[in-house]
Amino acid sequence: MANTYTKIYIMVVFAVKYRRTLLNDYVQQEAFNIMAAALRSMKCVPVEINGMPDHVHILYSLHPSVSISETVKQIKRQSSSWINQQSFFRGSFAWQEGYGAFSYSQSAIENVRAYIKKQKIHHQNSTFMTEYRGLLDKYNIEYEEEYLLKDPI
């Protein structure tokens, strides 16, 4: 891809299956390291990764040779595989199906990074679903409430 120059910032958001609060600080940090490595293996640049026990926010610069869906697929696959190999939980760990992906301009990156870094503070007053609906509304993304981050039981 000679002479191809891009800077496309994407924030993806996804939750633990059934939005269970399984990710303690240790599991989060190790999973975030694996997610960053997965992005780098696809020539993407991780900018900020943080989350809560039930969900993750990842801001990265997308490489033009890979799709957003492929980056999310690999992030989820590699991190859930590692979590399951560690046997942290009874049964198997899985991420929810689907995700939210939102683009940001260069001028917004520092604000987005700060937002992601402050997840624990932010969620003292807001649930994940309130936050997620807010992002969808901010980006004028139409959704049907009955399908919003629902996993089959």
Mean pLDDT by 10 residues, the chain (153 residues): 87 93 94 98 98 96 97 98 91 92 97 95 88 91 80 52
Spatial strand order of the sheet with 55-62 comes to 45-52, 55-62, 8-15, 100-104
pLDDT of residue 149: 66
Q: Decide: 4 and 90 in contact? Cβ < 8 Å.
A: no
Report the DSSP beta bridge partners of residue 55.
15, 52
The per-residue pLDDT for 153 is 46
CA pair distance 88, 145, nearest whole angstrom:
32
